[in-house]
Amino acid sequence: LRDIITSRDDKDPQLKTQAVIVLGSFAYGHESNILELINSGVVEPLLNCLSPNGDPKLTEAAARTLNAIFASPKVSRQELFK
């Protein structure tokens, strides 16, 4: 999924949006999933999906996923952005 959201290929923007939605499902599923998402390196690609000029559905899905990650009490913001 990380490869899909980091891809520069915009032939199928819905695919990228669906990948972000799946990541969001993992983030909302269980606290341990959030740590796995962070360890897999998806935070930076998700941040890159936040664009005022981008697809609104992709931006919303990325924002919701990031919200779930950052809302977790197990997430150290200092460690996350090192």
Query: pLDDT tens digit string along 29-38?
Result: 888 899 999 9
Does residue 78 carry a pLDDT above 80?
Answer: no
The per-residue b/e assignment along 18-55, b for 16 or more CB within 10 angstroms, e otherwise, is bbbbebbebbeeeeebbeebbeeebbebbeebeeeeeb
pLDDT at 69: 92
Per the structure, how many domains does the chain have?
1
pLDDT at 21: 96
Domain containing residue 28: 2-80
Phi, psi of 21 (to 5 degrees): -65, -40
pTM for the full predicted model: 0.84
